[in-house]
Amino acid sequence: MDDVFLSIDGDSWKTFEKEGLDEYKAEMGGMEDSVKGSMQFTNLGFYPEVSEIEFKEGKLYIQGDLKHGSNLIDFGYLSVSLALPMETVIEIIEFYLKKLGKLKTILEATKNI
C-alpha cells in the first residue's frame, strides 16, 4: 500500500480556499454540485527535499514543501511512499547505468590529457 501524508498551513488554507473552490467549479463546468466542497489547486508546486529521498525495501519515499503561486507562498507539506514495481526499478537502474557509462567514457578520454 502507498502512503500519503498531507499537512496544510491553516492561514494558507483560509487565504486560498475560495480559489480552490472556484477552480474546481470551473473545471467541472456546472457539475460541481455532484461533489460539494471539492477543491482544485492548479497553482501549487511540490518542492521535494532531494537529500531526503529514500528507497527502502521496494518503496520510494519522497517528502517536501507545497508552495503556492509564483511568489512560492508556503501552503503545506507532502510526504508520499510508493511501492515501485520491479520493472520500474530495473528501468531506473538501466537509466543510471547508461549515465555511468558515459561518465566512464569521458573520464577515460581525459585521463591522458
* Tens-digit pLDDT string for the chain (113 aa): 688 999 998 888 888 888 888 888 887 776 655 566 778 888 889 999 888 899 888 889 999 999 988 888 889 999 999 998 889 889 999 999 988 888 888 887 787 66
Taking a C-beta distance cutoff of 8 angstroms, is the pair 62, 48 a contact? yes
CA distance to 1, 39, 70, 104, per residue, from 43 (Å): 28, 12, 8, 41
Q: What is the pLDDT of residue 33?
A: 59
pTM of the model: 0.66
Taking a C-beta distance cutoff of 8 angstroms, is the pair 24, 32 a contact? yes
